[in-house]
Amino acid sequence: MVFKKQSYNPAFTIVELLVVIVVIGVLAAITIVSYTGITSKAAIATMQSDLSNASQKISLYQVSDPDSNYPADQAAAIAADVIKPNSSMDYVYYGADNTSSPKYYCYMYRKGTETYAVDSTSAVSKGVCLQNLVTNGDFRDGVSGWNTSSTSVSSVNNNELSFIVASKYGGVFQYIPNYANYKLHKLYYSAYVKADSPIVYLILNDGTAQGLAVSTSLGLYQTLSNVFSISSSATSLYTRLQDSRSSGWTTNYIKYWTTIDLTTIFGIGNEPTQAQMDMLITQLPNNWFNITAKVNL
């Protein structure tokens, strides 16, 4: 009788293959997480270093400037070689207010959801530079930049505008230029308002729809604020304090008007809520700023 030698099959079993696949997947996940953490830390270190170096150059620029001004805007700062274009960042912003006392600048980087900023009053930290899209929001220049044609009385004292409307839906308003830049963006707007009617509204309107912030503490100053999403079909953009009464109009008062493009500053999907913005704004004097201001996150 002849016996055949039994052959040996060295192939993996299904169970062994599954174990190998699982091990490889775990190792890959660990590697990806580690790599992501390393690259994120590297990006943060770059942001911090660049902003810190730039702040020294910006300060030196002011010292050497005949009027002790900071570079007026981002283009001027790049031209003066105090900041540099940085294509590796998702968003770069520089702004200055040479009309304030003391004069002020803010400079920020955003990479993904990481944002760091530096300004003339503090060192580099996790934060953002806010930009006010409204001009003369504290009425320091009277009603310059504001349309008051639908009001019968308007005066400014101590940064407070007071007015009585001349017709239903009258009010004071300002168009925000380049409205197309804000399509599909979320904008935060706020102002300090005193009115004695619940149908006096703080409005942001994009020509197709509008957001309303409603007066509730009648006869008392209160901060009215809202977050409004701009339509892709927007035809204009303006902010307005509107008195919707048909008669019996009384004086309305307003101070410290602000409008901020959240999407550009924080990134799509990372915009703060109205409540979160209300808290961030409390870091600033009068919950308001003129051109630009840094808040910490």
Domain CATH for 215: 2.60.120.260
Residue whose pair of structure tokens reads 């052959």 in the numeric block: 7
Say if residue 105 is in the same domain as residue 193: no
Q: Which domain holds residue 78?
A: 43-130
Model pLDDT, residue 146: 97
Say if residue 279 is in the same domain as residue 159: yes
Model pLDDT, residue 87: 80
**Distance between CA 209 and CA 228 in Å, rounded?**
10
Model pLDDT, residue 86: 82
Domain CATH for 121: 3.30.1300
Range in 63-67, 87-91, 165-169 the model is least confident about: 87-91
Residues 6+ apart with CB under 8 A from 86: 50, 92, 109
- Given a cut of 60, whether residue 24 has pLDDT beyond it is yes
The three-class DSSP label of residue 94 is strand
Say if residue 110 is in the same domain as residue 180: no
Tens digits of per-residue pLDDT, 116-128? 999 999 999 999 9
Count the domains in the chain: 2
Tens digits of per-residue pLDDT, 149-167? 999 999 999 999 999 999 9
The stretch 137-150 carries a mean pLDDT of 95
User: 132: which DSSP letter?
Assistant: -
In this structure, is residue 166 part of a structural domain?
yes
What pTM, to 2 d.p., does this model score? 0.85
CA distances from 140 to 145, 160, 261 (A): 11, 9, 23
Model pLDDT, residue 30: 64
Tens digits of per-residue pLDDT, 213-249? 998 999 999 999 999 999 999 999 999 999 999 999 9
In this structure, is residue 252 part of a structural domain?
yes
